[in-house]
């Protein structure tokens, strides 16, 4: 039993002459003509549509889905980081202008020429000594 694959023009426009299945250089069980209008080949299953191994197609599909998942998750993480980032840098100091109203001139430097900086820093320790057993005695 054999079947005939008619001639056709390939994907690149080259004319391919007709042939009978099985071909001399192919598997003897490939008795059927399979394929499309621009690609024909001999196969052992008359319902076969692709001349490629399905295992490779499945592996490529899984790899493409994995890459797509990574790209989407990176985009979501970047959006979350950008939207939840603080709007301004908080260094813990309150920077407010002290004495916004002008008072009468006092002797000494004027408020405009006074050095700028935080005026009331909070001291972290209320006493000068730490509560440690190995601290040297005070003066």
64-83: pLDDT as tens digits: 999 999 999 999 999 888 88
Across residues 122-132, what is the average pLDDT? Answer: 57
| Stated length of the chain | 139
Q: Is the pLDDT of residue 63 over 80?
A: yes
Instruction: Identify the pLDDT of residue 48.
Output: 66
Q: Is the pLDDT of residue 42 over 80?
A: yes
Return the half-sphere exposure (C-beta side, CA atoms, 13 A cut-off) of residue 112: 4
* One domain for residues 36 and 56: no
Q: Is residue 33 part of a domain?
A: yes
- 3-state class (DSSP) for residue 41: strand
Q: Is 3 exposed, middle or buried (0-12, 13-18, 19+ CB in 10 A)?
A: middle
C-alpha of 25 from chain center: 48
Q: Is residue 49 a contact partner of residue 60, using CB atoms and an 8 Å limit?
A: no
Q: Is residue 117 part of a domain?
A: no
Q: Is residue 32 a contact partner of residue 1, using CB atoms and an 8 Å limit?
A: no
Q: Is the pLDDT of residue 122 over 90?
A: no
What range defines the domain where residue 25 resides?
Answer: 3-43
C-alpha of 75 from chain center: 5
Instruction: Identify the pLDDT of residue 30.
Output: 85
Phi, psi dihedral angles at 88 (to 5 degrees): -140, 160
Q: Is residue 99 part of a domain?
A: no
Across residues 45-54, what is the average pLDDT? Answer: 66
Q: Is residue 120 part of a domain?
A: no
Q: Is residue 73 part of a domain?
A: yes
Across residues 95-103, what is the average pLDDT? Answer: 58
């Amino acid at each position: 039993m054999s079947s005939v694959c008619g001639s056709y023009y390939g994907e690149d426009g080259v004319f391919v002459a007709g042939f009978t299945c099985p071909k001399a250089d192919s598997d003897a069980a490939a008795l059927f003509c399979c394929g499309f209008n621009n690609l024909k080949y001999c196969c052992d299953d008359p319902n076969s549509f692709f001349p490629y191994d399905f295992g490779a197609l499945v592996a490529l599909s899984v790899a493409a889905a994995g890459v797509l998942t990574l790209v989407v998750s990176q985009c979501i993480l970047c959006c979350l980081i950008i939207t939840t980032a603080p709007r301004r840098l908080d260094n813990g100091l309150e920077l407010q202008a002290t004495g916004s109203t002008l008072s009468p001139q006092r002797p000494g430097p004027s408020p405009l020429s006074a050095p700028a900086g935080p005026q009331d820093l909070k001291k972290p320790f209320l006493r000068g000594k730490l509560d440690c057993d190995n601290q040297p005695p005070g003066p």
